Structure 1
Amino acid sequence: MRMFSVSHKTAFVVDHCPYMAESSRQLIECDMLTKSRSQGVIPLAPVAKSLWTCAVECSMEYCRILYDIYPTKKLVNYIVSDSEVHILNSWKQEDQNTHDLMSALAAVGPPNPRQDPECCSVLHGLVAAVESLCKITEYQHESRTTLMDMADRVANRGRIICLTNAKSDTHVRMLEDCVLETIQEQNKLAAGSDRLMPIQQCELVLVHIYPQGDDTLVSDRQKKELSSVLSSEVHSVRAGRYLACKLNVLVQQHFDLASTTITNIPMKPTLNVCEQEEQHANTSANYDVELLHHRDAHMEFIKSGDLHMAGSTSRDSGLKETVTLKWCTPRTNSVELHYCTGAYRISPVDVNSRPSSCLTNFLLNGRSVLLEQPRKSGSKVISHMLSSHGGEIFLHVLNSTRSTLEDPPSISEGCGGRVTDYRITDFGEFMRENRLTPFPDSMVDAAGRAPIERAKSQLERHTRYWPMIISQTTIFNMQAVVPLANLIVKDTLTEEDVLTCQKTVYNLVDMERKSDPLPISTVGSRGKGPKRDEQYRIMWNELETLVKTHVGTSERHQRVLECISACRSKPPEEEERKKRGRKREDKEDKTEKNGKDTEEKSWTADTERLKGVMDREKDEQSECEIIKDSPDSPEPLNKKPRLATEEQQPPEKSKGPVSLLALWTNRITQANSRKHQEFAGRLSSVNNKAELYQHLKEENGMDVHENGKGTR
């Protein structure tokens, strides 16, 4: 949306009625020659400006400051109201200058005190100001033409500043009601017109001017919302210097300006441009000059809290604050470059004073001035620089804190350290892939997006997951992951792209099966770093995080994530094997800690015992083969199948590691069970108890008990 703020349009309405010809009663001395005046010469009497003259001078200062700092896109429409309306300029950019306005005001002339007051009213000017705000400016027309079908998105806002002499608070409310009714009427007319725009927001600033020595008849009032379209505020100010201070404060509030006062400016011999100081070569004086500029020039002060403010308060002008900076001796070499973070146009507050004139002439001759912060102790800090470019003077903000051009601060060690593992090469490639080139906005894609929107979308996709430090990433340090990382950030994927991504995932699975090493950083960890299984777990987690950030882009991106999830899920047998492998590695690590001597002794004992068991097993197997192959040997009655070893058992039945002695004992028991026929009594046993004298009862007819005694 192309939004225009309230400061885009400012309509000045100056009352030209007969009562504005009244004296302001602020006397100005014209005769300065008090000591050198000869006798008999009558001194000049002091003069006083009228309310009209004070209003014109202050409003012109308002416009001058505005044009100095904002040469474009901040427009003023000057209107004079008496028995009729005098519109002195238009919204066109070529009409925005103080020279044309002063010429038009000279043609209007001062108000006629003998004119009938009943025929004059400031209401005519307020109605004309509302009508002027509904007119379309060149910048609004350009935005409406660019948006074409969405021209209604261009906002129309403005501000009306009325300088008048009101009669009472009731008179002020009548003026506000008139402006509100006019806005409602003009919005209805603008709704059906292509040359007018309805007003979405309007600020009315009423400045009541009254002579010095009189009591004000109008009360001050803060900004108040009269409707959803109109807000109003009232300022009651005495004429003269008080009105000038009030307009100076208002222009700072309306256009987000700030004040800087340069102190200790030597007029001689440093500047050497003022004739009066040149005549007195042995003397010099220090002066102060106040400058206005955009508020962002003080942003570094606001962030750091190192703001040196000098304020002056007045009941009529309110609070006026300024930042104080000290003059530094200018350097003769203007070619020297300084690291600047911003440059802002300036405008002197008192443009006609001798110090301001000397300073501006000095800067326009190609010289530069460094400004430092006033400090009671410590080294001086140069924070700003004054220099001219193309006939305009700018206040440059110098970086007084840590420069971004220096070595970057350490992320792992804290402030003051150094980091050497930034992905500088990858960042250079990233910048090349996201370069911007001029392109007409009218060239849109199939989705109706302009080139700048497509560029923003691409930049957003590329930065969803982009680690800055080499030690914080694994996949971006692997050449095998490059094809997938380059394709997954695309807006759309083809079938060939999906196959390439799946092939990359399969290659990673093959690397894991072969236990290939990964570029895992060991910064901040003890020993050799994580184990091989942990390395691959970290790699898979990071790869899955990268793909998940783009999974909502399209269905093919989802297929890549499904492929990764399928390759990560291992069968239970492989997971159990990895678990046993990790336990075996832990056991080996513990064995290393026990010492080399204990390891050698236990290894020798186990080897000898294993060798003896294997020899006996060979003899037993040979004997079993002879018995089995002999035709006279009967088949054993209790022949059992060969017992499954621990390796042959499924992982889910394994109860943990089995000792080597238990393993070979089971084998020996199995082999011995194949050598002989089972005892016949054990085969006929009941409850593991064999019955003795089985045929005794049949022969003697006796009941035999288990203790061998019987009864007849």
Structure 2
Amino acid sequence: MKMFSVAHKTVFVVDHCPYMAESSRQQVECDVLTKSRAQVIPLAPVSKSLWTCAVECSMEYCRILFDVYPKDKLVNYIVSDSEFHILNTWRREDQSTHELMSALAAVGPPNPREDPECCSILHGLVAAVEALCKITELQHEKRTALMDTAERVANRGRIICLTNAKSNTNVRMLEDCIQETISEQNKLAAGSDRLMAIQQCELVLVHIYPQGEDTLVSDRPKKEISPLLTSEVHSVRAGRHLASKLNILVQQHFDLASTTITNIPMKEEQHANTSANYDVELLHHRDAHMEFFKSGDLHMAGTSTRENGVKETMTLKWCTPRTNSIELHYCTGAYRISPTDVNSRPSSCLTNFLLNGRSVLLEQPRKSGSKVISHMLSSHGGEIFLHVLNSNRSTLEDPPSISEGCGGRVTDYRITDFGEFMRDNRLTPVAESSHDPSGKLPVERAKAQLERYTRYWPMIISQTTIFNMQAVVPLANLIVKEVLTEEDVLTCQKTIYNLVDMERKNDPLPISTVGSRGKGPKRDEQYRIMWNELETLVKTHAGATDRHQRVLDCIVACRSKPPEEEERKKRGRKREEREDRTEKNGSKETEDKSWQESERLKGLLEKDEQESEVIKDSPDSPEPLNKKPRLIPEDIHPPERAKGPATLLSMWTNRITVANSRKHQEFFGRASSVNSKFELYQNLKEENGMDAHENGKASR
């Protein structure tokens, strides 16, 4: 449907009644003292009238509109006093500020001596509704192209009324007048080929009053008066406040955005050898900032508060201009610009610089990091465009790796599975003679199959379990079918029983540990995740047929385990937790175990010594016949006790030795040994009066 938005037609209705000749009371200096004219008496400051303020601000609105939208956005200018004066038409050749300024010069300022009773803004509002019903050239082209369906071309428009209303009651009267006029004109347009009925009209009423006075009209946001008419009211002081208000309105009405070019080097007028940095604000279509809106990398610096609203501007820094105009840049968009203050010296110098064939690169202001050039200013055919440069990877370069996504480097995409998915869903030519019993077209069947296959299809390996298991492949391939056979149901049930058997055997599952600490979830938790995902997959297809539902019922039945199975699972969980806790604290326990074991053995040995002393020294406690002689701790391994911290092996050997010493009568030779060596021929020294060992050899 060929729709024309409200922005296609804009009608300006400016009040030309005598009260608009009143002063705005904003003084303007006409003469500036210089050294050469120091003796000249300066001129007294002057103030503009309400009419002059309204004309200047409305012309700025039209200038910005014509700069950014030179073709498809049209303006019709009407002046209202004792009658209405239409200054231009909807034709393209009349859409220029030169034509409007020439017509306004012919109209002249309002006559303060004219009878106010004969003048009214209603004449212009009625003429504005009639102008909206007239067909523009673009609408005529669309109606002609559609031929029999010409009524599908919509007719919408906006009326901007600049006046000095008396009160809120006067505003409601103006709205009622416009509503009645729209109804009358729609009736006339129904029987005419040269007129179009109005489907939607927006009224923007701007009440202008002098500075220093209180307003008699209240601001009101957009309100629906009828299905065909919406209205909003703005009460603004004349002068710079009115200019700011219309600047904000033109951005809202035509989806414009503001960009401020900072650090523009420019030579001073008084000192040619010096230069200073200036800023220039430009208006353009909002799409020039679309990349920043998507990435969230906005630098909304220089936000300034204006009258009745907040205006935001994006700041870009001036780069050294490129002298080589032949160099091409990869651009993703080009948008016409319009300076906010077209008559200022910085704006004039910038536009002349660009119109001479120079290009200026613009960079984002960053506190840290490398410089990012995001835009470029350049002229084409006498018009200046803001080019959006691709600051990311260019599509003209080699294609990026699939692992380079918006969320960072993702290396576990299901690339192989996606290739199989594409093979399963290939489109092939179908002969006209082929017939489907269901009556669906081939393209509809293809869309339905694609919808079934993508109801549950994880893209990343770490986000799925069942698609990483070979045991689930038969069920995953069959459950997406539109119709299941009895054999398919049996195959799915067999797959489910195999999974139950795997769980009973406690087989491991391919659970991803990406982003988790340790070994990941417990074995019981792994199977719970697997069953949940499998149930989610089957549930998305369970409503197709009864056989799909039988597969889901089988999963639900297998997940409900008997009490003894739950008890076994609980024991298995406790065992796994104990093993994990042991592995987790393994290093710490290894360090503490030697100390704990040594302390325990020391206590046992001391206890044994005390018992031995009691038995030996107490006359009332004769040693029993089966009591075994105890080894003195120092005699077990004397050299090792002097080596510092004992090893786990030595402590364990000591413990076994002590335990064995209590089980049998100790061998006399080992009990009497010295340094693990038993001395032979002990009586030889006593009998012969000589040493048993001489020069390392025993005496014979």
After TM superposition, the score normalised by the length of structure 2 is 0.62
Letter in 1 for 2:428: L
Per-residue deviation, residues 228-274 of structure 1 (Å, max 9, x unmatched): 11111111111111111110000001111111111110013xxxxxx
* 1:494 alignment counterpart: 433
* 2:225 alignment counterpart: 226
Distance 1:284 1:122 in 2: 51
Per the TM alignment, residue 86 of structure 1 is displaced from its structure 2 partner at its CA by 0.6
Letter in 2 for 1:6: V
Change (3 A) 1:414 1:136: closer
Per the TM alignment, residue 417 of structure 1 is displaced from its structure 2 partner at its CA by 4.9
1:303-342 equivalences in 2 (<5 Å): 303-309=294-300, 310-314=302-306, 316-342=307-333
* 1:133 alignment counterpart: 132
1:19 and 2:39 correspond: no
Secondary structure of 1:10's match?
strand
What runs of 5+ residues in structure 1 fail to find an aligned partner? 269-275, 422-467, 499-522, 549-561, 584-712
* 1:398 alignment counterpart: 389
Distance 1:262 1:94 in 2: 33
Per-residue deviation, residues 41-63 of structure 1 (Å, max 9, x unmatched): 32222221111111111101100
1:195-594 equivalences in 2 (<5 Å): 195-268=194-267, 277=269, 280-309=271-300, 310-314=302-306, 316-404=307-395, 405=397, 407-411=399-403, 417=409, 469=415, 471-474=417-420, 485-487=426-428, 490=430, 493-495=432-434
Distance 1:572 1:217 in 2: 83
Letter in 1 for 2:153: V
Distance 1:287 1:213 in 2: 33
Q: How many aligned positions are there?
A: 480
Per-residue deviation, residues 537-561 of structure 1 (Å, max 9, x unmatched): 877778x5xxx6xxxxxxxxxxxxx
CA contact (8 A) 2:317 2:362 kept: yes
1:677-688 equivalences in 2 (<5 Å): none
Per the TM alignment, residue 413 of structure 1 is displaced from its structure 2 partner at its CA by 9.3
* 2:522 alignment counterpart: none
Q: Equivalent pairs: percent with the same residue?
A: 74
Distance 2:362 2:238 in 1: 35
Distance 1:376 1:198 in 2: 55
Letter in 2 for 1:24: S
Distance 1:95 1:420 in 2: 61
Distance 2:284 2:328 in 1: 22
* 1:173 alignment counterpart: 172
* 1:53 alignment counterpart: 52
Per-residue deviation, residues 384-440 of structure 1 (Å, max 9, x unmatched): 11111222111112233454545424349996659899xxxxxxxxxxxxxxxxxxx
CA contact (8 A) 1:475 1:539 kept: no
* 1:461 alignment counterpart: none
Change (3 A) 1:570 1:342: closer
* 2:193 alignment counterpart: 194
Letter in 1 for 2:2: R
**Mean alpha-carbon deviation: is it higher for 44-53 or for 411-420?**
411-420
Distance 1:127 1:138 in 2: 22
Distance 1:16 1:486 in 2: 68
CA contact (8 A) 1:291 1:346 kept: yes
Change (3 A) 1:414 1:19: closer
Letter in 2 for 1:472: F
CA contact (8 A) 1:85 1:124 kept: yes
Per the TM alignment, residue 380 of structure 1 is displaced from its structure 2 partner at its CA by 2.3
CA contact (8 A) 1:205 1:232 kept: yes
After TM superposition, the score normalised by the length of structure 1 is 0.61
CA contact (8 A) 2:32 2:42 kept: no
Change (3 A) 1:412 1:20: closer
CA contact (8 A) 1:25 1:211 kept: yes
Per-residue deviation, residues 673-710 of structure 1 (Å, max 9, x unmatched): xxxxxxxxxxxxxxxxxxxxxxxxxxxxxxxxxxxxxx
Letter in 2 for 1:107: A
CA contact (8 A) 2:201 2:230 kept: yes
Distance 1:571 1:469 in 2: 29
* 2:693 alignment counterpart: none
* 2:30 alignment counterpart: 30
Change (3 A) 1:394 1:46: same
Per the TM alignment, residue 337 of structure 1 is displaced from its structure 2 partner at its CA by 2.4
Secondary structure of 1:213's match?
coil
Letter in 2 for 1:372: E
Change (3 A) 1:486 1:170: closer
Letter in 1 for 2:282: L
